[in-house]
């Protein structure tokens, strides 16, 4: 059987971008016969018409799952909401705005299949504003200081985790969503 890669995408006001992101993902898999996909679109802003487009995408492709949250819970909670729907051997998280290249999905999954529990994409240049890069830098330093991130690890929202890690995350029961810290703690123990 082909390896199945689940791709989870938190969607926030994504009506203008999510269609092209899904199209790009599907194109990558059309050219990769040894791999199959599942796309999980989690709508984290139910106050616009993004979920209507997600429903249309689900009708067009049975490999797409749509999840509609009742309010804006934030990206981490949207990522957590995707976990019960994952059927793949590997889970890849990516953003809804087209910033993450879909052709990076399979290389991330291959690295996980080499035996890693978590693999982060690394970008030499980011397309974000100076303010966004600065706040990301500060956030990374704070995570290093509080012990939820190892020094020198570049955490991005484009990453892959093993099936073992998916199952472990399904057992994460905390009122404080800190998925990256939890994954990094688990990865350090396996």
Q: What is the mean pLDDT of each run of 10 residues along the chain (190 residues)?
A: 95 96 97 96 95 98 97 90 96 96 96 94 62 51 52 75 92 65 56
DSSP string for residues in 154-183: ---SSEEEEHHHHHHHHT---SS--HHHHH
Query: pLDDT at position 140, please?
Result: 47
Q: pLDDT (tens digit, 9 = 90+) per residue, 26-39?
A: 999 999 999 999 99
Query: pLDDT at position 157, please?
Result: 85
Q: pLDDT (tens digit, 9 = 90+) per residue, 106-125?
A: 999 999 999 999 999 986 55
Are the C-beta atoms of residues 18 and 94 closer than 8 Å to each other? no
Q: pLDDT (tens digit, 9 = 90+) per residue, 133-146?
A: 545 455 545 554 55
Are the C-beta atoms of residues 132 and 99 closer than 8 Å to each other? no
């Amino acid at each position: 059987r082909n390896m199945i890669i689940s791709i989870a995408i938190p969607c926030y006001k994504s009506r203008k971008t999510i269609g092209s992101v899904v199209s790009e993902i599907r194109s990558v898999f059309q050219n990769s016969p040894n791999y199959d996909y599942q796309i999980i679109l989690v709508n984290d802003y139910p106050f616009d018409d993004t979920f209507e487009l997600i429903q249309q995408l689900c009708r067009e492709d049975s490999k797409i799952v749509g999840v509609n949250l009742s309010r804006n819970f934030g990206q981490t909670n949207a990522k957590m909401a995707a976990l019960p729907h994952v059927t793949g051997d590997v889970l890849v998280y990516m953003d809804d705005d087209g910033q993450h290249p879909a052709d990076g999905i399979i290389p991330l999954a291959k690295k996980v299949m080499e035996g890693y529990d978590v693999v982060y994409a690394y970008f030499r240049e980011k397309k974000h504003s100076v303010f966004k890069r600065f706040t990301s830098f500060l956030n990374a330093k704070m995570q290093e200081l509080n012990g939820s991130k190892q020094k020198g690890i570049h955490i991005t929202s484009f990453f892959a985790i093993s099936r073992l890690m998916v199952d472990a995350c399904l057992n994460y029961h905390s009122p404080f969503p800190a998925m990256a810290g939890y994954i990094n703690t688990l990865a350090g123990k396996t």
